[in-house]
Copies of this chain bind each other. A is one copy, B any other.
Amino acid sequence: MAKILILGGGYGGLITAVTLQKKLHYNEAEVTLVNENSYHYFTTELHIPAAGTGHHERFRVPIKSLLNEQKIRFLQARVTAIDVQAQKVELATGDRLDYDYLVIALGSAPETFGIPGLLEYAFGIRNINTVRMIRQHIEYMFAKFANEPHRPELVTIVVGGAGFTGIEFVGELADRVPELCREYDIDREKVKIYNIEAAPQALPGFDPELVEYAVNVLENKGVTFLINTPIKECTPEGVILADGREIKAATVVWTGGVRGHALVENSGIETMRGRVKVDAYLRAPGFENVFVVGDCSLVFNDEGRPYPPTAQMATQQGQALGANLVALLRGGAMTPFRYIHRGTIASLGKGEGIGMVGRRKLFGAQAAFMKKIVDNRALFMVGGLSLVLKKGKF
């Protein structure tokens, strides 16, 4: 029986598995999904538990609850090496797995663009563990400030990067800060939130009218934007800007970009910033049986520009790959993958958002409402109606 090995239970890997599960008959293939955690988490919403405006339990689901174990075996383990020449995958336990078809869906790592200190001193909105730490770090700094009111840096928060994650995170933070101020008897005025972006506008590449709306909403909530302002260095005390200014901040969160997972870079597959430029069937160059989906993959549009790594992309890739793997197993032909951009929506905290669906711009409550629909749709694709009922937004 053919062995399909899927590495990673994020959107790309999980949707591949779930699609296989739907289409495969029993005993048609031996499918194994390997993931470091016992759960899948909703990467696109991690800014919420990171800020503390929602509990992380709402944003994860046990992988076993999504799988039919007669069709897909789940293995909780950390992958430590991929050897595509020997067709072996090594786990932290020392075990080695072999495969006929490999799906690499290990997600991303932070891209620091060489800025010193970011990996050491900045937090990242990366997974359940790191967002719990961000939430607790911020709250601890507020608790400390109540004891050391002469140290304003304790309640200064720097968010590096005003892309989607950065913008959505400061939106949640701005909602969270008044709660923290009440909890620790702190004046709201004392708290500073900086969103710092190197590019000449927030949400680089996004519609300027929507960007202006977003910046206005967030400024009114108390966020200070420093646009066109590269960060030169991150230190234990805060950040140093390119112009030499220093912002002292006990909390620095870097959302400035991602690259592919380091394991992929070390696997022998050709990568660009850790991402694999896949062919029309999502295969790694030179390997008929190695597929790459999600943030580890790189897909170009018709104008030759790379699509940004998104959950939407990973989900569509997972669906396409699941169907193609079934076709392969049955001796059929694969269908080339084509990404369909359904739109982009960003939340700006409670009841606020912006979005672009087709040519239509969405603002405020309308965008926030659409965001809920999109999030529920993502839940439906992962775990059907029962998951929407358990973790959905109403």
Contacts and interface: CB of A to CB of B under 8 A. Distances in A.
Contact of A132 (B130, B132, B143): B143
Nearest to A127: B147
Contacts of A143: 129, 132-133, 135-137
A140 B136 contact: yes
Interface string A124-144: 000001101101110110111
A-side binding surface: helix, strand, loop or mixed?
helix
A135 B183 CA distance: 13
25 contacts: A129-B143, A129-B146, A129-B147, A130-B147, A132-B143, A132-B146, A132-B183, A132-B184, A133-B140, A133-B143, A133-B144, A133-B146, A133-B147, A135-B143, A136-B136, A136-B139, A136-B140, A136-B142, A136-B143, A136-B144, A137-B140, A137-B143, A139-B139, A139-B140, A140-B140
| Copies, count | 2
Contacts of A139: 136, 139-140
Contacts of A137: 140, 143
Interface in A99-151: 129-130, 132-133, 135-137, 139-140, 142-144, 146-147
A129 B147 CA distance: 6
Nearest to A135: B143
Contacts of A129: 143, 146-147
Interface in A151-202: 183-184
Given A130-B147, A132-B143, A136-B139, 4 more contacts: A133-B147, A135-B143, A137-B140, A139-B139
Nearest to A147: B129
A184 B142 CA distance: 21
Contacts of A140: 133, 136-137, 139-140
Contacts of A147: 129-130, 133
